[in-house]
């Protein structure tokens, strides 16, 4: 058996406390063997030995049965053919001591387990008196069992007989509770999966399993009712299997949806349920009162007896739990009672938590998930405060790798964000795993290591070891699992970066591509994507657990398809770079086919059965979009594809891209009602002249799902908006003013939507610059206009073969000089062009992709004269490549520069020509700015984007505010000019001048201690939370008038979508110095230049919550104004 101990990983820390006798050095004993979970103390001896065929085992009737069975298996797997079990020393050349360890330990010069904590053990392997000894000296039966799990990892394979290294390990767990809670929603684990889970917990020295599946009606909805006999028998089997693995089977009951806390009958029903579990062997119990509204009471006596609100709920729950605690004490052999409280996350004190602190029996352990339901970090400071706030021992219910809230995701990243040393504050850390139990083992491995020895926990090493265990130690499979985990990294809370290794490769590719080294870019990326495509096959053949392969099957299948799409995309780009249009188009079609198949995959478990597996989303799909845009540009379509946007999350698979897919039968659908300030819209990809705009909302079956009061707006930069029209109807249309230019167009709610969600069937923005095309002719078929809709993923499809005289004609709204015509599609036809009313043949249609020169003439129309009886035509697009277009499109984003400093402006030159084009770029700066180089020449390859970096410097005396840089691109007789915004602000210091200063607020969330001072105390745990007024404000008094240049806002979940920064010297007259819109929360910095003693944050539009909530409001003075 290959084990993680055979990997060449880092050596463990050895403790100097152990005494070992002098021995002869063996070559196999040089390197310490890696053991998981990490032992507290491990010292290498130099008297290891090979394992003989006959081994004695000292054990008697008091020996732990599971430990004895484990030793038998270890020895058998190591090639031992005869095992002699005896209560006394069998005198064998090698002896394993499960009993009477004193004598062999003394001979080895090793102290026993005295002084170790519960579940601890001493494991000593060495030679003495010409005999080989393996001593497993446990503090208790669990300790002995855990010693066998360490022994299992120490067996080493060699060219001959297997061997054991000389070693002494003194080991004990850092935390009392280590394991898992089956507390997720969706498809629960099966009985067989739970049994296997207990085996995994035991072999990894985890001792806790909490039974709390949300699907069990007798656990929650029907908690008063006794379990039917068949269900009770299964629970008995679970309790027995858990016991055999030294896992505490903790039965949880969740009565909060209907309990009357003051009712003796309800208390009796709860205890009767616990008695039934006690009778089948259960000795550990939890009362879960989570995920309820404690303002809702289920009998009139409760609020009368306990009071209302959080305080009343805390008193009521304490009353019930204290009765259960009396039952626990009466039993005498039941573990400490546990409570999952209603306020199970966060750190601020509250009336509810005070009541728990004051009235709940101190022996009861309280569950807590961290600073949030899914906590990004859990620190020693967090846990110390949680323990103080609750007034009880804390058991961390850590919501990782649970995935019931992120349908389609399979979290496989490392277990990060948890401080070393948490064992000093908490009783334990347990995992709420995923719907997939075998895949969850990758994460549980780290939970085991962290809860056993958190003081040295290394997330990366533990994660690598978990992958190695899943791979059976095979390096190729480990690498495949790592790549698979990379595209399954993002969870939105603990891991915020998706597919970091793929991102790095893609970024390197585009750097080379945009620098003109297209061949080098392809050589860089193609092997990476081919390797990713092979990952699922490697995992299926290399992972040792069939359950892992079955559970991950949908994600493995999807990974293979997405990787094949990536590979096809690189091939497409390579072919277009070489001018091979037909081959590039074939790969484009393969790409789309792979994506379609990937999006059709479904897992069998809920909630994942309702959506496709999410593989590297936001990375892989974006690369494919960008690659397709590059091919579009190469063909002659606008490569800047419109992207649907929405400030609301999506219901099921009805994503924002469906509002810009040209299909009225698909739609974006929000998962909530829009609030004032929410919006739907499009990003056109580049600034362009806009014409008619239409927003088609609502659908059959949901006619009221539209924004009932909104304003249609457009913007160049996404910051400054201009209104087109206001509306209250499901279909909104407007025509932009002449010469209006925009990149962003949105429809924004001006009022809350009254509970109705939002459906957008199509959001269209017409480009006023483009020529309009009309398609006529045949043969008859479907979607005739798709031949000129500017989209390669749609097509005109003829219903039958062409008849004699059939032709397809595309007429332009005006004639323009045309370099060539591109036809993407299939069919047999002669291609003709019309100039000055006269048709002339320019060539024949070729299979898939045809490109025909037209000599720069003023082209009016194109006609495809079909060959009668040939195959039914399918035309994706007919493209006129005009000569009177700019040398390149110019795109550059807003740049912010400090006075007296410089910044890098990245200018995108987007190909518009059907040739490689030499482009001269010139830059002219406004007063106070300099730019370098002022002029440069680059070749923009057909279909590509060339990035040019310019250095923009601001003089020390440059005026604060927005400045302009004029860029001009010229080539092939065409010139294009663009204005780029350069924001200049004074440099600011690094000291937060708001820290500890007096702060006031318009209001505070009722019933809380979330006061204004919390936003300036430098503590990321505390926060200010406003009342439910959208115009709430927070003011900091700096003590004297100060020139301030920046503010950093660190938001809790209740962020502001729009707000202002105001300054005042008297606290009465205020000046707005900065405005922020379209914000998404998190940590954000806003630059400005304002002077005042009082700095006010003024709310304008709330985010998804009814209040605003700031962890910190930090201010930074201009460098020469205040340090």
Residue among 130, 162, 163, 135 nearest 147 (CA) = 135
481 secondary structure, DSSP code: H
Closest residue by Cα to residue 713 from 668, 639, 757, 765:
765
Q: How many CA atoms lie within 13 A of 984 on its CB side?
A: 24
| CB neighbour burial string for 608-618, b if at least 16 within 10 angstroms, e if fewer | beebbbbbbbe
Q: Which of 662, 654, 653 is nearest to 696 (CA)?
A: 662
Angle at 923 between CA 917 and CA 929, to 5 degrees: 160
Q: Residue 285 forms beta bridges with which residues?
A: 251
Neighbours of 637 (CB within 10 A): 20
* Of 250, 246, 245, 237, the residue nearest 280 (C-alpha): 237
Residue entry with tokens 């096959």: 537
Tokens for 955, please give them: 């003089």
CB of 640 closer than 8 Å to CB of 686:
yes
Contact 287, 270 (CB under 8 A): yes
Cβ proximity of 280 and 330 under 8 Å: no
Return the closest-CA partner of residue 36 out of 206, 215, 214.
Answer: 206
CA 993 to chain centre: 34
Return the structure tokens found at 780.
């008859």
Buried residues in 700-719 as b, exposed as e (16+ CB within 10 A): eeeeebbbbbbbbbbbbebe
Catalytic residue among 291, 372, 419, 653: 291
Cα-only R_g, the chain = 35
> Could you tell me which residues are beta bridge partners of residue 851?
822
Please count the other Cβ atoms lying within 10 Å of the Cβ belonging to residue 50: 17
Nearest CA-CA partner of 532 in 555, 508, 507, 551: 555
DSSP, collapsed to helix, strand or coil, labels residue 56 as strand
Rounded (5°) CA angle 768-772-777:
165
- 570/593 Cα distance (integer angstroms): 15
> What is d(CA 1116, CA 990) in angstroms, rounded to the nearest whole number?
7
- Identify the CA nearest to 147 among candidates 93, 202, 67: 67
Tokens 């066998």 correspond to 148
Structure token digits, residue 1064: 């005042």
Distance in angstroms between the alpha carbons of the first and the last residue of the chain: 63
Distance CA 505, CA 525 (A): 7
- The helix (H) or strand (E) run that includes residue 96 is strand 94-97
Do residues 248 and 283 lie in contact, with contact meaning Cβ atoms separated by under 8 Å? yes
Distance CA 308, CA 295 (A): 7
Alpha carbon distance 464, 995 (integer Å):
41
Strand pairing class (54-58; 94-97): parallel
Q: Active-site residue 884, yes or no?
A: no
Measured CA distances, 338 to 82, 286, 361, 388, 732 (Å)? 46, 4, 11, 17, 56
3-state secondary structure of 906: strand
1076: its two tokens: 């922020």
- Write down how long the chain is: 1123
Q: Give the catalytic positions in this structure.
A: 291
């Amino acid at each position: 058996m290959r084990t993680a101990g055979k990997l060449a990983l880092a050596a463990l820390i050895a403790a100097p406390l152990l005494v070992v006798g002098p021995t002869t050095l063996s070559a196999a004993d040089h390197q310490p063997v890696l053991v998981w979970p990490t032992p507290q103390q491990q010292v290498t001896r130099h008297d290891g030995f090979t394992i003989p065929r006959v081994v004695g085992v000292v054990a008697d009737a008091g020996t732990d049965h599971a430990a004895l069975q484990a030793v038998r298996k270890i020895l058998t797997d190591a090639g031992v053919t005869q095992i002699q079990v005896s209560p006394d020393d069998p005198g064998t050349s090698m002896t394993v001591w499960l009993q009477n360890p004193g004598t062999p330990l003394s001979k080895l010069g090793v102290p026993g387990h005295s002084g170790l904590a519960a579940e601890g053990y001493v494991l000593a392997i060495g030679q003495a008196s010409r005999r080989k000894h393996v001593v497993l000296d446990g503090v208790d039966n669990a300790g002995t069992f855990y010693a066998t799990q360490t022994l299992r990892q120490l067996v080493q394979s060699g060219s001959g007989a297997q061997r054991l290294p000389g070693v002494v390990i003194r080991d004990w767990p850092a935390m009392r509770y280590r394991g898992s809670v089956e507390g997720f929603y969706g498809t629960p684990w099966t009985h067989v999966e739970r049994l296997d889970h207990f085996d995994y917990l035991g072999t990894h020295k985890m001792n806790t399993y909490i039974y709390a599946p949300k699907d069990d009606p007798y656990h929650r909805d029907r908690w008063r009712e006794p379990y039917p006999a068949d269900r009770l028998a299964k629970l008995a089997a679970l309790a027995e299997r858990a016991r055999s693995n030294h896992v505490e089977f903790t039965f949880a009951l969740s009565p909060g949806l209907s309990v009357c806390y003051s009712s003796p009958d309800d208390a009796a029903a709860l205890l009767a349920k616990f008695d039934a579990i006690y009778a089948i062997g259960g000795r550990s119990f939890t009362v879960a009162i989570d995920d309820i509204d404690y303002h809702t009471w289920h009998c009139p006596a409760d609020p009368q007896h306990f009071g209302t609100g959080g305080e009343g709920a805390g008193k009521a729950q304490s009353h019930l739990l204290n009765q259960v605690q009396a039952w626990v004490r009466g039993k005498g052999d039941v573990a400490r009672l546990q409570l999952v409280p209603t306020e199970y996350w966060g750190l601020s004190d509250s009336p509810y938590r005070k009541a728990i602190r004051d009235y709940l029996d101190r022996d009861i352990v309280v569950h807590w998930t961290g600073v949030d339901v899914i906590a990004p970090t859990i620190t020693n400071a967090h846990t110390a405060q949680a323990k103080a706030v609750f007034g009880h021992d804390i058991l961390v219910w850590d919501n990782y790798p649970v995935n019931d809230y992120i349908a389609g995701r399979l979290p496989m990243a490392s277990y990060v964000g948890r401080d070393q040393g948490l064992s000093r504050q908490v009783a334990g850390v347990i995992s709420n795993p995923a719907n997939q139990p075998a895949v969850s083992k990758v994460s549980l491995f780290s939970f085991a290591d962290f809860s056993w020895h958190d003081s040295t926990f290394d997330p990366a090493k533990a994660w690598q070891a978990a992958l190695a265990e899943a791979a059976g130690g095979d390096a190729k499979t480990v690498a495949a699992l790592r790549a698979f985990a990379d595209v399954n990294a993002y969870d939105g809370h603990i891991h915020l970066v998706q597919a970091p290794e793929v991102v790095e490769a893609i970024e390197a590719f585009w750097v080379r591509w945009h620098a003109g080294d297209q061949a080098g870019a392809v050589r860089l990326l193609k092997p990476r994507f081919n390797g990713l495509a092979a990952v699922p096959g490697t995992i299926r053949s290399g992972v040792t657990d069939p359950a892992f392969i079955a559970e991950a099957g949908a994600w493995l299948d999807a990974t293979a398809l997405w990787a094949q799409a990536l590979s096809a995309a690189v091939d497409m780009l390579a072919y277009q770079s070489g001018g091979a249009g037909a081959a590039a188009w074939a790969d484009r079609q393969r790409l789309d086919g792979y994506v379609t198949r990937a999006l059709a995959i479904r897992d069998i478990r809920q909630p994942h059965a309702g959506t496709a597996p999410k593989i590297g989303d936001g990375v892989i799909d974006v690369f494919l979009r960008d690659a397709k845009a590059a091919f579009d540009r190469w063909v002659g379509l606008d490569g800047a594809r419109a992207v649907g946007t929405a400030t609301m999350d999506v219901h099921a698979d009805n994503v924002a891209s469906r509002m810009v897919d040209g299909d009225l039968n698909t739609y974006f659908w929000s998962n909530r009602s829009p609030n004032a300030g929410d919006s739907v819209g499009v990003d056109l990809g580049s600034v362009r002249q806009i014409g008619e705009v239409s927003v088609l909302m609502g659908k059959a079956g949901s006619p009221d799902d539209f924004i009932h009061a909104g304003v249609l707006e457009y913007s160049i930069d996404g910051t400054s908006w201009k209104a087109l029209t206001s509306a209250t109807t499901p279909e909104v249309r407007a025509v932009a003013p002449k010469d209006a230019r925009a990149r962003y167009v949105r429809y924004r709610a001006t009022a809350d939507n009254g509970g109705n969600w939002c459906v957008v069937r199509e959001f269209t923005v017409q480009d006023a610059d483009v020529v309009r095309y009309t398609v006529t002719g045949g043969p008859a078929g479907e979607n005739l206009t798709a031949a000129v809709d500017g989209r390669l993923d749609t097509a005109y499809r003829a219903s039958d073969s062409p008849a004699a005289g059939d032709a397809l004609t595309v007429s332009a709204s005006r004639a323009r000089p045309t370099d060539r015509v591109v036809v993407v599609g299939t069919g047999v036809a002669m291609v003709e062009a019309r100039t000055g009313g006269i048709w002339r043949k320019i060539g024949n249609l070729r299979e898939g992709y045809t490109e025909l020169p037209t000599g720069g003439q003023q082209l009016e129309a194109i006609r495809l004269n079909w060959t009668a009886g040939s195959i039914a035509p399918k035309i994706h697009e007919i493209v006129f490549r005009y000569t009177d277009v700019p040398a390149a499109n110019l795109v550059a984003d807003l740049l912010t520069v400090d006075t007296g400093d410089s910044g890098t402006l990245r200018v995108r030159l987007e190909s518009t020509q059907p040739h490689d084009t030499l482009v001269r770029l010139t830059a002219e700066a406004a007063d106070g700015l300099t730019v370098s180089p002022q002029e440069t020449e680059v070749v923009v390859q057909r279909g590509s984007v060339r990035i040019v970096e310019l250095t923009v410097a601001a003089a020390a005396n440059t005026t604060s505010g927005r400045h302009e840089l004029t860029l001009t691109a010229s080539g092939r007789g065409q010139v294009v000019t663009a204005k780029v915004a350069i924001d200049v602000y004074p440099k600011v210091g690094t000291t937060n001048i708001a820290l500890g200063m007096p702060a006031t607020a318009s209001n505070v969330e009722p019933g809380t201690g979330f006061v204004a001072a919390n936003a300036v105390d430098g503590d990321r745990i505390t926060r200010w939370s406003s009342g439910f007024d959208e115009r709430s404000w927070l003011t900091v008094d700096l003590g004297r008038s100060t020139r301030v240049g920046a503010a950093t806002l660190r938001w809790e979940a209740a962020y502001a979508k729009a707000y202002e920064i105001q300054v005042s010297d008297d606290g009465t007259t205020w000046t707005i110095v900065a405005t922020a819109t379209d914000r998404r929360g998190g940590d954000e910095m806003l630059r400005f230049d304002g002077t005042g003693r009082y700095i006010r944050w003024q709310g304008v539009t709330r985010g998804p919550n009814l209040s605003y909530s700031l962890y910190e409001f930090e201010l930074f003075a201009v460098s020469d104004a205040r340090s």
